[in-house]
Structure 1
Amino acid sequence: MGAFTIDEIVIPERIDAPDAGDFVRAVEVGNLVAVETYGTAEITYEPAEELSKYLDPYQPHRVFVARVDGVVVGRGTAETHRGDEADTSWVSTQVLPAFRGRGIGRALVDATETAFPGIRKAIAYVAGTELAGARLSSPTGFGSIAADARETRFLQASGYRVEQVERLSRLALPLDGLDDLLTDARRATGGDYRVHTWTGRTPDRWLEDRAVLATRMSTDAPTAGLEEPENVWTAQRIRESDDRWESNPRSRIVAAAEHLPSGRLVGYSMLSVPREAHRAVDQWATLVLREHRGHRLGMLLKVANLAHLAEVSPGHPSVLTFNAEENRPMLAVNEQLGFVAIGYEGAWRKDLT
């Protein structure tokens, strides 16, 4: 095998652009590694579905690839927040199995960690590949990863420390008794809340509230010792995100809870739905503001959005979701609905200065 090279690639404006080939191959490499790791193709995304994320001006991305004999065999991505005060980067590296052990992963990590000036901390979410053997417990006291796995040894040697474990869960569809679940959830929640649903663009009346919820998603969800920074959203940013998603083959299906006495949205649940009915749906976010927890709104929102999905895009085989292992309230909702754990990933942190 020949020597490898590391190059930064162009993030194309369109997936059919003349310069999109490297980006498409980079996504394909990521998908191949994900299938190997999780043992299911349900985890994969198409290049056209990924592109809008990489074009978000509020969360700049850089993408690097490793080539052997001109062929892309690995990829590394780095993402940060916009603004001079940004100090955190989210990094990811994947290398095809046949090309591991040659320093490619190390070179991609070096490229991603130095992609943005002024970054003090790198965060990496890395899937586990082993379920048996010695375990390394999360500092949160919830969940563990394989202590002797290849990725564990690599990350520790690279200066990362595990801070949290996330569970990947799968819900088989269709969900039996969905109407009864929705009725029970509405009864348990009480009369102070009303659910609104929509697909695609955010209704104008909810733009400000959606911005608050998106911002609070970055502060109210458990992040343990990762100390993830606040990610501020505005109504303008919500609308710009809606605009970018007009070209995405996936649709976003939303259920949101209105607190009737105040007239404000206090929780939401979002599904990312592929166009093809044979592919899995992703549970992207479910959040209830801290001050409105304890009313079973999490269950109501999830069930309402599953009912919404069954109405507007039926036939999908499953829903996949990631949750922090210490987020027991949300995991309890998932388990009650029938979600089953199928994998995990470690959330790793490296202080760069």
Structure 2
Amino acid sequence: MTGLTITEVVIPDSVDAPNARDFLACIDVRSAVWAHDSGTRDEVRPPEEMLPGWRKQEFEPKRMLLARLDGRPVGRGIAEHRPGDAADTAWLAVEVVADARGRGIGRALAERVEDLAREARATKFIVYAPCWRVGGPRLAAPTGFGDVAADTPETRLLQSLGYRLEQVERGSRLALPVDTSALDASIADACAAAGSEYRVHTWHGATPAEWRDDIAHLLTRMSTDAPTAGLEEDEDPWTVERLLADEALEEGSPSLNLVAAVEHVPSGRLVGFTELNAPDDRERPVDQEDTIVLTEHRGHRLGMLLKLANIAHLQRVRPGHPRIITYNAEENRHMLDVNEAIGFEPFVYEGAWRKDVRL
């Protein structure tokens, strides 16, 4: 295409660094795409908040491309993979601003990020693509849970490139604040159901030293215990060293992590946790991050207890945010039951697509 250039972005040490221009342009593209497609600014993130994730290259190698049309930033592409034994999988993404769509920019970026994935020796490509359209012909997930619009530019592009739909995720949101008396009563009910063998701990910021090993173990289990349907995502191992490195990079982010974890009292080990990420700007929503209860400790309403306890924790420590946003696989009925009981309501569905390639 005449006037289209695609270049790789250097990840700067800070947003004020001399080489940060292209990174900032990519974040602007992301913000424009999400604001236009969703009709809200809920998913818009400032560059200071996005940069720490891009600097986690040791354990989460990733590369970013910037597309310019006649010199104007109009799109970005992402290729991420894992080091070591899990390097056979790559997670790819492409975003193009609304007024530049329909000109082949998305396809050009998709082909380029696939090239990056092949350079990393990946043979399985995974794409998560939000679907904002409701109604019309639908494409059902092979899991039997959920569907996406069958006739959209992103669906047609992914299918033409050889991707197949494997899973649908639901985006849900909970209006804040939750009534304190109702929240306290629900927590008391969940505590009674859990029984005396389980105890909840909360903290914000860095993980307390006594829980680092357990949190690293739980983060590793997140990559294997959560439903992934036909995506067959590999284990993503965490160690205390990786946890400390991750938290050190997040120290510079204008947001706060809030954690509720549950201890199995007889063993003295954490067997579940949930995490919220609250931006400094209290007019913005809070992101629900990982939630897990180890399989061998399920059936005690610990997932419900953890989520309720962390909402209460959030409202004590960082009141004023308008809502919490979370994403769950449509077949993860247990967690959806928990969310729906708390009051989360769906607002978007996201297709998870897979493509297998040969090197």
What is the alpha-carbon distance in structure 2 between the residues aligned to residue 105 and residue 200 of structure 1? 38
Which residue of structure 2 aligns with residue 97 of structure 1? 98
What is the alpha-carbon distance in structure 1 between the residues aligned to residue 228 and residue 40 of structure 2? 26
- In the alignment, which of 145, 158, 161 is matched to residue 142 of structure 1? 145
Letter in 2 for 1:41: R
3-state DSSP of counterpart to 1:256? strand
Deviation per residue, 1:13-47 (Å, 9 max, x gap): 11111111111110121121112222221122111
What is the alpha-carbon distance in structure 2 between the residues aligned to residue 136 and residue 256 of structure 1? 38
- Does structure 1 conserve the Cα–Cα contact (< 8 Å) formed by 2:92 and 2:127? yes
Alignment of 1:237-276 (within 5 A): 237-276=242-281
Q: Which runs of 5+ in 1 are unaligned?
A: none
What is the alpha-carbon distance in structure 2 between the residues aligned to residue 76 and residue 277 of structure 1? 30
- Does structure 1 conserve the Cα–Cα contact (< 8 Å) formed by 2:87 and 2:120? no
- Does structure 1 conserve the Cα–Cα contact (< 8 Å) formed by 2:88 and 2:121? yes
3-state DSSP of counterpart to 2:187? helix
Which residue of structure 1 aligns with residue 294 of structure 2? 289
Q: Which runs of 5+ in 2 are unaligned?
A: none
**Structure 1 residues 181-190 or 55-64, which shifts more?**
181-190
What is the alpha-carbon distance in structure 2 between the residues aligned to residue 289 and residue 85 of structure 1? 22
Which residue of structure 1 aligns with residue 41 of structure 2? 41
3-state DSSP of counterpart to 2:248? helix
Deviation per residue, 1:25-74 (Å, 9 max, x gap): 10121121112222221122111111111111200110001101211100
Which residue of structure 2 aligns with residue 161 of structure 1? 164
User: Which TM-score applies when normalising by structure 2?
Assistant: 0.96
- Does structure 1 conserve the Cα–Cα contact (< 8 Å) formed by 2:86 and 2:234? no
Which residue of structure 2 aligns with residue 178 of structure 1? 183
- In the alignment, which of 283, 298, 323 is matched to residue 278 of structure 1? 283
Alignment of 1:12-161 (within 5 A): 12-56=12-56, 57-83=58-84, 86-115=87-116, 116-161=119-164
- Does structure 1 conserve the Cα–Cα contact (< 8 Å) formed by 2:259 and 2:274? yes
Letter in 1 for 2:299: G
- Does structure 1 conserve the Cα–Cα contact (< 8 Å) formed by 2:277 and 2:288? yes
- In the alignment, which of 214, 223, 241 is matched to residue 228 of structure 2? 223
What is the alpha-carbon distance in structure 2 between the residues aligned to residue 260 and residue 50 of structure 1? 37
Deviation per residue, 1:221-240 (Å, 9 max, x gap): 00000001100000111111
Letter in 2 for 1:252: N
- Does structure 1 conserve the Cα–Cα contact (< 8 Å) formed by 2:274 and 2:310? yes
Letter in 1 for 2:46: E
Which residue of structure 2 aligns with residue 212 of structure 1? 217
What do you get for the CA RMSD once the two structures are aligned? 1.1
What is the alpha-carbon distance in structure 2 between the residues aligned to residue 348 and residue 128 of structure 1? 12
- In the alignment, which of 311, 334, 338 is matched to residue 333 of structure 1? 338
What is the alpha-carbon distance in structure 2 between the residues aligned to residue 298 and residue 269 of structure 1? 8
- In the alignment, which of 205, 208, 211 is matched to residue 203 of structure 1? 208
Letter in 2 for 1:5: T
- Does structure 1 conserve the Cα–Cα contact (< 8 Å) formed by 2:257 and 2:278? yes
How much does 1:137 deviate?
A: 0.5
Letter in 2 for 1:50: M
What is the alpha-carbon distance in structure 2 between the residues aligned to residue 335 and residue 88 of structure 1? 32
- Does structure 1 conserve the Cα–Cα contact (< 8 Å) formed by 2:126 and 2:354? yes
Deviation per residue, 1:116-154 (Å, 9 max, x gap): 331101101000031101111001000000111221111
Identity across the alignment (%): 53
What is the alpha-carbon distance in structure 2 between the residues aligned to residue 197 and residue 320 of structure 1? 20
Alignment of 1:315-330 (within 5 A): 315-330=320-335
How much does 1:248 deviate?
A: 0.8
**Structure 1 residues 178-187 or 241-250, which shifts more?**
178-187
Q: Does 2:9 correspond to 1:9?
A: yes
What is the alpha-carbon distance in structure 2 between the residues aligned to residue 10 and residue 84 of structure 1? 26
What is the alpha-carbon distance in structure 1 between the residues aligned to residue 300 and residue 220 of structure 2? 22
3-state DSSP of counterpart to 1:345? strand
3-state DSSP of counterpart to 1:329? helix
- In the alignment, which of 233, 238, 246 is matched to residue 238 of structure 2? 233
3-state DSSP of counterpart to 1:212? helix
User: Which TM-score applies when normalising by structure 1?
Assistant: 0.98
Q: Does 2:302 correspond to 1:305?
A: no
3-state DSSP of counterpart to 1:42? coil
- Does structure 2 conserve the Cα–Cα contact (< 8 Å) formed by 1:164 and 1:347? yes
What is the alpha-carbon distance in structure 2 between the residues aligned to residue 95 and residue 352 of structure 1? 25
- Does structure 2 conserve the Cα–Cα contact (< 8 Å) formed by 1:196 and 1:258? yes
Letter in 2 for 1:175: V
Q: Between Structure 1 and Structure 2, how many residues are aligned?
A: 353
What is the alpha-carbon distance in structure 2 between the residues aligned to residue 91 and residue 225 of structure 1? 17
CA separation of 1:161 and 1:203: change in aligned 2, threshold 3 A: same
**Structure 1 residues 193-202 or 42-51, which shifts more?**
42-51
How much does 1:251 deviate?
A: 1.0
